Chain A
Amino acid sequence: MSQELRTAMPQIDFGNRDLSQTAGKIVGIDLGTTNSLVAVMELTGPRILSGIVPSVVSVKPSGEVFAGRDAREALISHPERTVYSVKRLMGRGLADIQDELKLFPFRVAEASESVLRLRLGEAVMTPPEISAHILRKLKLDAEAALGETVTQAVITVPAYFNDAQRQATKDAGRIAGLEVLRLVNEPTAAALAYGLDKRKQGVVAVYDLGGGTFDISILRLHDGIFEVLATNGDTHLGGDDIDHLLLAISLEDIRSEWGEDLSGDSAAVQLLRRAVIQAKEELSFVPQATIDLEYGGKRYQRNIAIDLFDRLIQPIVERTLTRCRACLEDSKLQVDEIDEVVMVGGSTRIPLVRAEVEKLFRARPHTELNPDEVVALGAAVQAGILSGDVKDHLLLDVTPLSLGIETMGGLVSKLIHRNSTIPASATETFTTGVDGQTNVLIHVVQGERELVKDCRSLARFDLKGIAPMPAGLARIEVRFLIDANGILNVTARDLRTGKEHSVEVKPSYGLTDEQVEAMILESFEKAAEDFAARQVREAQVEADAVLSATERARKEPGYFELSEEERAAIDRAVNELLVVYHGDDHALIRAKIDQLDVATQKLAEIIINRAVGTALKGTPVDG
């Protein structure tokens, strides 16, 4: 009943919208190696929602999983049930993470040969499931900040991520209950945020050195089109590597000073890692810093001067510069055609990095946008492009790696070259090699090398059910299409019958569709708990709006036209709402909101009438 009355008074919004029915905003998410962020596009521009969420996930003995700041604390109190930098494992197999295992305290669960799984206390989870917990945390934070449910997202990935890593990120989104409308490359997202803000035309290089990944992209900006000309990078190069260098030195020091090897003590290593990171960060601002550890009643202190630090990290910086030169070459531009360099990622605060980048590109690097936030802001801009809120802007990105198929003798035949604008496609016709052969196996790889064994295996596609006939007669046309997310789609057509031919996909790494579905189902159970919590939060957001509208109305002159009884009824309703506000019963909160709505109806009418009256008085009727 009160619903109908409210619609008759559109001028005053007491905040009582049906939140479950709103269309919902598309959020932009930076799912980083070290930290993650969520942002949204607003009329005034992109805005970060809530704070930085450390990309750390921990499992309580009760089985409850939590992510973010609390989980980062658990790295020290419960290192064996906590994981960080899981992004390094996305889309990878057991064989290719052996190097990571030496450096990171990842505990690989048994039977990880086909799909990699980590052990966190009693729980066993795949990297996409772990990332999904970070995403779920971001989703809840965004919902709390927006006061509405969030179901759609744009998620950023390193530009140099391959197909499997992208697919794994998309899977993580699905498991977290998010429809991933687009994967955007991190440097491109940064360029979007930057271009929207600062520059409309010209050539921009984005140098993105984050916690675990490095990307370089060169873009041409013109009239709202952001065209990526070339990209290059290394998905295992970043601030983490610098931490490891310092950590190794400190562990060695401690071994000789204390006569103790701490490398096997995960709590000590995590404390030391924290001390090392602190010293590293200080060195961006002062020429001296101290690595300081107190552990087991002993103290370790070591001074690091900036020139020693620079010498230590020089090889890491040089690796990024090599990638930059290759990218410049691929862009077919001369260095003096680059107008600006935009710096992204926490590691670009390091003075040596800035100096070397400036030297290479002969352009002063731009650092005015917060390097930790710019990627999330750009993701929000892309979300705005997708929703139609941001008009006249369009992102044309490229595929970072060449796509090829295995041919005779283990050689790669390239079908789509790196730095091709996506979506991109290629078709190839296949036939049988033996009489009566009924299937053809196609091995798809990604990479720049000539031999299959030096490239990254993506998947094997099985063209099954070919009618038996003499060798070479079958003609099956296969279309390889890289979509706007940089993910491969394969379709096949029998050229003799003209019919669509079925393709069975066996991904070399990562999850099958069935596995992802199973994880989504499982997460639904967890989501039930989340859902209850969210309903409470939504009711609270609604209550906030109604309470503040009431507060405002009480200051209106119209308030004093109410009878004492009517005013008392409003006070009572406000108090009752405040009493249930912090409970966990969303239905009760809503009931009290409705009660307050009823109590304030007359007040709303009075205010409206007064407003109309004033307006009439102020306007010459015969005007």
Chain B
Amino acid sequence: MEYYQVLGLEPKLSLDPEDLKQRFYGRSRLWHPDRFIHANPLERERALDMTALLNDAFRTLREPASRAEYFLKQHGLELSKDPPPELLEEVFDLNLMMEELREGDNSARRDLESARDRFAGMLAQIDAELQELFAGYDLSQSREILDEIQQALSRRRYISNLVRDANKELNVPGTSHSNAAN
């Protein structure tokens, strides 16, 4: 639980975003490499390492989903990559719509949009569920809740990929970054 330690936090799934931010800024002020330009090489290296760790930690813990994923990993749990079985039919339909749109059938656009919105709605629902599960786990440390979180997160990841792909197909500005570095 290195990421929690570096921010001086107890390993919990529910975190106060404002408190997290203040801890991050406070530690940044103290540890940032800018403060150690004239220090000896060893101290400079330490400042760089600590700040990198701090930044990695803040980035990971800030978002509930990436935070929970990190938390699960520390407990030896990985997210499942398989599609949730109850969604198979809908995913099949979604792929069909994307195919049609790609082939120039613009009537598929509206269907795809409403499918995308339905999936986005599911995401919001999962996020609300997750919040409750987080609070429940923090109280009880129950392994069963952790398993539930794992399932919810796996579903969440799968669905958010679907929404991303649908948006790409719909050409929603800003979602299909094709900025190759050149």
Residues of chain A within 8 A (CB-CB) of B180 are 447-449, 454-456
Q: Verify A448–B178 contact, CB threshold 8 A.
A: yes
**Least CB distance, A341 to chain B, in whole angstroms:** 18
Complexed CA–CA distance, A446 and B29 (Å): 29
Q: Verify A421–B181 contact, CB threshold 8 A.
A: no
Instruction: Report if B81 contacts A (CB, 8 A).
Output: no
Instruction: Identify the closest chain A residue to B179 (Cβ).
Output: A448
Instruction: Report if A108 contacts B (CB, 8 A).
Output: no
Residues of chain B within 8 A (CB-CB) of A288 are none
Q: Verify B34–A422 contact, CB threshold 8 A.
A: no
Q: Verify B55–A447 contact, CB threshold 8 A.
A: no
Identify the stretch in A243-251, A324-332, A582-590 within 8 Å (CB) of chain B at 4 or more residues. A324-332
A182-B34, A394-B29 known; A162 vs B48 contact (CB < 8 Å)? no
Instruction: Report if A565 contacts B (CB, 8 A).
Output: no
Instruction: Report if B175 contacts A (CB, 8 A).
Output: yes
- Report which of A385, A387, A424 forms a contact with B52, defined as CB distance below 8 A: A424
A interface secondary structure, majority: mixed
Those of A447-499 within 8 Å (CB) of chain B: 447-449, 454-456, 481, 483-484
- Report which of A222, A223, A386 forms a contact with B37, defined as CB distance below 8 A: A386
Residues of chain A within 8 A (CB-CB) of B29 are 225, 394
Residues of chain A within 8 A (CB-CB) of B143 are none
- Report which of A328, A395, A446 forms a contact with B181, defined as CB distance below 8 A: A446
Those of B158-182 within 8 Å (CB) of chain A: 173-175, 177-182
- Report which of B48, B59, B177, B178 forms a contact with A421, defined as CB distance below 8 A: B59
Residues of chain B within 8 A (CB-CB) of A386 are 34, 37
Q: Verify B28–A481 contact, CB threshold 8 A.
A: no
Residues of chain A within 8 A (CB-CB) of B28 are 225, 394, 396
**Least CB distance, B5 to chain A, in whole angstroms:** 16
Residues of chain A within 8 A (CB-CB) of B177 are 326, 448
Q: Verify A481–B37 contact, CB threshold 8 A.
A: no
- Report which of B33, B56, B178, B182 forms a contact with A483, defined as CB distance below 8 A: B33
Instruction: Report if B51 contacts A (CB, 8 A).
Output: yes
Complexed CA–CA distance, A330 and B175 (Å): 9
Complexed CA–CA distance, A401 and B34 (Å): 22
Instruction: Identify the closest chain B residue to A396 (Cβ).
Output: B28
Q: Verify A423–B181 contact, CB threshold 8 A.
A: no
Instruction: Report if A96 contacts B (CB, 8 A).
Output: yes
7 pairs from A and B in contact (CB 8 Å cutoff): A225-B28, A394-B29, A401-B179, A421-B59, A425-B53, A455-B180, A483-B33
Q: Which A residues form the contact surface with B (CB < 8 A)?
A: 96, 162, 181-182, 222-223, 225, 232, 235-236, 322, 325-326, 328-330, 385-388, 394-396, 401, 420-426, 446-449, 454-456, 481, 483-484
Q: Which B residues form the contact surface with A (CB < 8 A)?
A: 25, 28-29, 32-34, 37-38, 48, 51-53, 55-56, 58-59, 173-175, 177-182
